[in-house]
A and B are shown apart, each in its own frame.
Chain A
Amino acid sequence: MVNLSVDINGLKLKNPVLTASGTFGYGEEFCDFLDLNNLGGFIVKGTTLLPREGNDYPRMAETPMGMLNAVGLQNKGVYYFAEHIYPRIGHYNTAVIVNLSGSQISDYTEAASVLNELDNIPAIELNISCPNVKEGGMAFGTSCASASQVVKEVRSVYKKHLMVKLSPNVTNIADIAKSVEAEGADSVSLINTLLGMAIDTETRKPKLSTITGGLSGPAVRPVAIRMVWQVYNAVKIPVCGLGGIMSAADAIEFLLAGASCIQIGTANFIDPAISGKIVCGIEEYCMKHGVKNVCDLTGAIDL
């Protein structure tokens, strides 16, 4: 028997597999393909204080082993979430986590206060790294001072597990991680998408309405692994790793680099049942390698 459960600084997950915000809707979209209760948890799409229509079409472009997106945090706002969506998804026997984004600190704190009152939401993932919104989250996540400030303010109103999602579009991600740790973040997740761009050579038009967008998929995985390893070595709080995980082996790679749990993102678009398969694949890996507790894999890279 393998013990797949992990304790992420007090956030107890039945296994280390979460699904990444923005790639898994509100979970319900995937119910035909897998039993959500088998996941460690799922992170619902980026939620803001007020409703947002998001960016203009086109919002997506396929790229080598990945994709660019510029959805722009389309969502109906935190009050709509609390009133209409939470009652439909709060009952799942898995960690339902809300990704929270904003364009000013008061947006974050007001929305975090609302989410703090939802009994079946054990954690929020504070998005200070969305590259697709003007005045958006990424502005907070690219300097230590602003990252510290937003985490400090949210920490003062949010009493449950506070995971902070970090941007890879920085000079030194470990410094940002240390800053948010110092302000009371319970964990960090990384990486959000890498800022990218693509041009249609026939029309000379950018492929996204916003010109630039966020790159995800296997193309970013080596960058993500490197950053997880750097952050793991820089902070004491747990790291949630994501970036191009397509298989159980990819997930294991993140654990070995220092992640305590992982998120499946873009792969959900290729195989909507993949997250459940990766839970099984991690268990098989542990059995094959005589690993009794999956948490023993965290940072177990053999140097």
Chain B
Amino acid sequence: MKKYIATLPVIQNYPINDEYFVLELTHEELLPDILPAQFVEILVEGEPGVFLRRPISIHDVDYENNLLRLLIRIAGKGTQKLSLLREGDAVDMVYPLGNSFSMPQKPNILLVGGGCGMAPLLYAARYFREYGFEPRVLVGARSKKGILLRDEYRKYAELLTCTEDGSHGVKGYVTDHPVFSDRNNIDIIYACGPTPMLKAVGAWAMNNDVECEVSLENLMACGIGACLCCVQKTIDGNKTVCQEGPVFNIKDIIW
């Protein structure tokens, strides 16, 4: 897939809560084809101490209105600065980057997200829905506050939730959710989130002989497979998360 370096005007930028915001961008030309789990590398301008681009997963693509949405967690100076962008500003972006979740071969698909790992699952749900699937999205968070944009996810998927404190959905971790009680309910899992969550979901999938793909968030610099900083150990040696990932089959990963 061709990658672009482009300046995208900001349409709007709105907070979801004190930790998350949605940055909505357009492209003067038509947006390129984007696959679920792909990401962008954004340049953060005017913030001393921020040198490298920030990799951000693609949250949603609205081709009808030529809009690209990023759901971003304020994690440091770079994302803090991005949260201050306003309509009329523009961002310098390299995109779309990385591989993608594979197209499901069977109907029962489950998307699992935790923390800002839930961000790419909206576009994945939308994408699979357009191909005739009826995805379920399982989101895990510490509390209700972390279960973001529920109505958006419900447009394309059945939304299942878990919280550690029980304030929304099932109390516990995502793997405590009853959706995992019958392996016949699930043909393939697509997961993105913190490593302990990916390991737990991956272990369940391996033990139950269910296909599972995980999208990783390793620290990276270039985003295009040149610097080899973001590598993940796999059964075929070190692979770049930015170019050969971010999506890996759980069977290939060596944690």
Contact = CB atoms under 8 A, between A and B. Distances in A.
B219 interface: yes
B212 to A, nearest CB: 21
Contacts of A270: 43, 51-53
Given A69-B229, A71-B229, A269 B3 contact: no
B146 interface: no
A58 B52 CA distance: 16
Contacts of A54: 228, 231, 238
Contacts of A24: 226
A77 interface: no
Contact of A269 (B2, B50, B227): B227
A23 interface: yes
B193 to A, nearest CB: 18
B219 A58 contact: yes
Contacts of B229: 58-60, 69, 71
A67 B222 contact: no
Contacts of B49: 64
Interface in A49-85: 53-54, 57-67, 69, 71, 74
Contact of B226 (A67, A269, A273): A269
B149 interface: no
Contacts of A53: 237-238
B5 interface: yes
Contacts of B225: 25, 29
Interface in B199-255: 218-233, 237-238, 243
Interface string B116-155: 0000000000000000000000000000000000000000
Contact of A33 (B5, B48, B243): B5
B4 interface: yes
Interface in A21-57: 22-25, 29-30, 32-33, 45, 53-54, 57
Interface residues of B, number: 31
B243 A29 contact: yes
A109 B233 CA distance: 31
A99 to B, nearest CB: 13
A243 interface: no
User: Secondary structure of the B side of the interface?
Assistant: loop
Given A54-B238, A67-B221, A272-B94, A59 B5 contact: no
Contacts of B232: 57
Contacts of B237: 53
A270 B48 CA distance: 15
A32 B53 contact: no
A59 B52 contact: no
User: Secondary structure of the A side of the interface?
Assistant: loop
A268 interface: yes
A54 B233 CA distance: 11
Contacts of A58: 218-219, 229
A69 B238 contact: no
A71 B94 contact: no
A272 B5 contact: yes
B226 A33 contact: no
A217 interface: yes
A187 to B, nearest CB: 24
Nearest to A61: B219
Contacts of A30: 224, 226
A217 B224 contact: no
Interface string A258-278: 000000000011111100000
B51 A65 contact: yes
B3 to A, nearest CB: 4
A67 B51 contact: yes
A29 B224 contact: yes
B5 A269 contact: no
A32 B2 contact: yes
Contact of A32 (B3, B219, B230, B231): B3
A62 B228 contact: no
Interface of A: 22-25, 29-30, 32-33, 45, 53-54, 57-67, 69, 71, 74, 217, 268-273
27 contacts: A22-B228, A23-B222, A25-B225, A25-B226, A29-B222, A29-B243, A32-B4, A54-B238, A57-B219, A58-B218, A58-B219, A58-B229, A59-B230, A59-B231, A60-B221, A62-B52, A64-B48, A64-B49, A69-B229, A71-B228, A74-B238, A268-B226, A269-B222, A269-B226, A270-B43, A272-B5, A272-B222
